[in-house]
Structure 1
Amino acid sequence: MNAPRIALVTGATQGLGRALVEGLAARLDPADLVLLTGRDAGRVAQAAGEVARSPRSRSRVEGRLLDVTDTAAVTALAAELRDLHGGVDIVISNAIAPLVPDRSQAAQADEFIDVANVATHTILRSYGPVLRPGGRLIVVASSLGTLGHLDPRLHRLFDGVPLDRVESAVESWRGAIHAGTLDAAGWPHWINVPSKVAQVAAVRAVAAERRERDLATGTLVASVCPGMVDTRASRPWFSDYGHAQTPERAARAVLDLVLAEDVDPVLYGELIRFGKVVPWHGGTPPTEQERVIIP
């Protein structure tokens, strides 16, 4: 008999994260455990309780307080899951810090980078070693996360480099934001672009080190683009929601990938959108108009 599967989703009290938890709870087995995490204790408890009581839920659902910017807490939870369960089977790194139009990009940069990038690095480092054979380690990113969306001068910072070099590039970019030197180095002012490229580069760096043994055990490390999703975080930036998905619909494609029985080697380590690879070297720097509508 197979051991119960353990799944964890970050940023899961609302939007896509909650929809991912709901989908996992509906599609996993009764003995399996889904951990719904977030940084607000009240919202975590409420969301986990609602999902657990849903008639669609088949598996166990528990809420866990987790601020992904707290490196010690992220590491401690990974160690706990290793000690209690022998590891984890599904990790979906989904937490974001929403951007708002009425504040400057620079004023929002630190929190955004800490959640989207520094926390992603911590999750990759902490949960990669405790991912059980056949597991899934997934980072929710964006189709903006390809090299072509950056000035060619910046490609060398992210292309084919190890995780520590990605981390250094992120901190160099952060420094340029605060020093007011973005233009001189070629960094875009829209912070979502370098952030997403760095997320995908971090996943590629970890996947490059693990590829052979992961494919031998049916394990998947990848980043995903869920497409345009209508959430509280995205609403300030959109005027037309006609093409936006509900979180529930967006979660389906992600979960189809996560719960697929076999791992397609073509998908391993890549940015995946609706089951297809988004070319790493593709894309062009977004225009002023496009930057707020590209998912």
Structure 2
Amino acid sequence: MNASRIALVTGANQGLGRALAEGLAARMDPDDLVLLTGRNHQRVSDAAREVAQLPVTRSHVQGQVLDVTDTDDIAGLADELRARHGGVDVVLSNAVARLLPEESQAERANEFIDVSNTATHAILRSFGPVLRPGGRLLVVASSLGTLGHLDPRLHHLFDGASLDQVEYAVESWRSAVHNKTAEEAGWPRWLNVPSKVAQVAAVRAVAAERRERDLADGTLIASVCPGMVDTATSRPWFSDFSQAQPPSEAARAVLDLVFTEHVDPALYGELIRFGKALPWHDGTPPVEQDRLLRP
């Protein structure tokens, strides 16, 4: 087995994903490899070359085309990394579909769900088994991912659910959006809330099955909230960015989780913001954002 560490970042062409790739490349060792992934070959190649040429970069950096909406593509890359390197040490699942406030949430639902949720399920299923002891698998979510942000009628779909059950709930939500029955069932019009709750629930499901052995060998699986980040994806949604962090700053807390030597059992499987676990049942439905989307 190759002794060098292998790290992978999805959605790494720009924004937070790019900052995460840069931070990994700066803090990993010269024999380690950072795989910077995205869907567009040219953008991936350009970003990987630019990160590799940064003065602070220490590790190898390689561009890797990966379409996270293609579950076979994800499984194929996981199998390749197992065959070539014996597994992977760091997986940062960060890809998100850009959505503008003036766009129809329902019309963009398929793409948004595929990138944020179907991909998360596939990454957990494919990369969880090839994560080497002491590894890190972190899904970038947000503080909206706690269960209380959903209508109480929907809590049973995600609370204590298995990964299969989370996946079923997501597909039921998708169908309800297309059938125009989502609102009466309690789903918010704002896609981001159910999507983030489902991401966190999926991580919790996988972590619940692996907890004992992962804690024994120092492996961490969790979801992370980087806080408000000033990116092209988030900027259209907020009028006040005075408290927003640049991507490089937002990446720091996530990277600290990657490089910490000791895994705090209180953080394992949880949604982590700035080093602390957010209570799963906290939150209230974000009615103001939903009201903004009403015709």
Which residue of structure 2 lines up, in the alignment, with residue 230 of structure 1? 230
Change (3 A) 1:290 1:55: farther
Q: Deviations over 1:47-96 (max 9, x none)?
A: 00000011110010000000101111110100000000000000000000
Q: What's the offset of the Cα at 1:237?
A: 1.1
Which residue of structure 2 lines up, in the alignment, with residue 33 of structure 1? 33
Contact 1:190 1:291 in 2 (8 A): no
Determine the C-alpha separation between the residues in 2 that align with 1:173 and 1:78. 28
Moved more, 174-183 or 273-282: 174-183
Which consecutive aligned stretches of 4+ in structure 1 deviate over 3 angstroms post-superposition? 289-292
Determine the C-alpha separation between the residues in 2 that align with 1:211 and 1:240. 39
Determine the C-alpha separation between the residues in 1 that align with 2:6 and 2:64. 13
* Aligned: 1:286 with 2:286: yes
Identity %: 74
Structure 1 letter corresponding to 2:284: T
Q: What's the offset of the Cα at 1:235?
A: 1.4
Which residue of structure 1 lines up, in the alignment, with residue 45 of structure 2? 45
Determine the C-alpha separation between the residues in 2 that align with 1:263 and 1:244. 28
* Aligned: 1:9 with 2:9: yes
Matches within 5 A, 1:189-228: 189-228=189-228
Q: Deviations over 1:104-154 (max 9, x none)?
A: 110111100000000000000000000000000100001000110011110
Matches within 5 A, 1:51-90: 51-90=51-90
Which residue of structure 2 lines up, in the alignment, with residue 161 of structure 1? 161
Contact 2:188 2:290 in 1 (8 A): no
Q: What's the offset of the Cα at 1:236?
A: 1.2
**TM-score calculated relative to the size of structure 2:** 0.97
Determine the C-alpha separation between the residues in 2 that align with 1:6 and 1:104. 39
**TM-score calculated relative to the size of structure 1:** 0.97
Determine the C-alpha separation between the residues in 2 that align with 1:289 and 1:8. 33
Determine the C-alpha separation between the residues in 2 that align with 1:262 and 1:29. 19
5+ long unaligned stretches in structure 1: none
Match of 2:254, SS state, is helix
Q: Give the number of aligned pairs.
A: 292
5+ long unaligned stretches in structure 2: none
Contact 2:144 2:196 in 1 (8 A): yes
Determine the C-alpha separation between the residues in 2 that align with 1:240 and 1:153. 32
* Aligned: 1:18 with 2:14: no
Q: What's the offset of the Cα at 1:183?
A: 2.2
